[in-house]
Amino acid sequence: MVSRPSSHVSLLRARATRRLEAGNEYLDAQLDVLFSREGVEVSYFLLDRVLFNRRSGFHGNMFMPEKLASAIDRVAAHVRDDYGATLEGDDRAWAEVARARQQSEPRRFV
C-alpha cells in the first residue's frame, strides 16, 4: 500500500524551497519521510535519531494503517517545530544533515 499525499505532506512541500524536495513513502507498514537537496537524500527518522536524539519518541518507522495518521501528525508537528532551517535549504543545516547521513552509513573495512 502506498500512501496518498496528506495535508501534512502538503505542508512539507509548501515550506520546501526550490533546492529541496520533501516527500513520503508508505509501503508494507513502513513509513519514510524523505528530504533531498543537491543529491543528498536523508530520512526524517535518521535525522530524528542522530540530530534530535529521538525527540519525536519514535524508535522505528513501522506503523500499521490504523496508526499511520497519528504517526504522520507527530512527524508533521516535529518537522514544523524543529526543521525550519532544513526545509529552507540552509547550508549549515544541510551540512549537519550530510554529517548525520555519513555517520549512519555502514563502515567499510579494507
* Distance (Å, whole) CA 40 – CA 67: 29
Cell triple for 26 = 508508505
Higher pLDDT, 107 or 34: 34
What is the per-residue pLDDT across 56-71, written as a single tens digit (0 to 9) for each? 999 999 999 999 999 9
The per-residue pLDDT for 19 is 78
Contact present, 56 and 74 (Cβ < 8 Å): yes
Domain map of the chain by residue range?
7-101
Higher pLDDT, 5 or 87: 87
pTM equals 0.76
Element (H, E) at 37: strand 30-37
- Closest C-alpha to 26, from 75, 56, 57, 62: 62
Alpha helix ranges (H) inside the chain: 7-15, 44-50, 65-82, 84-87, 91-104
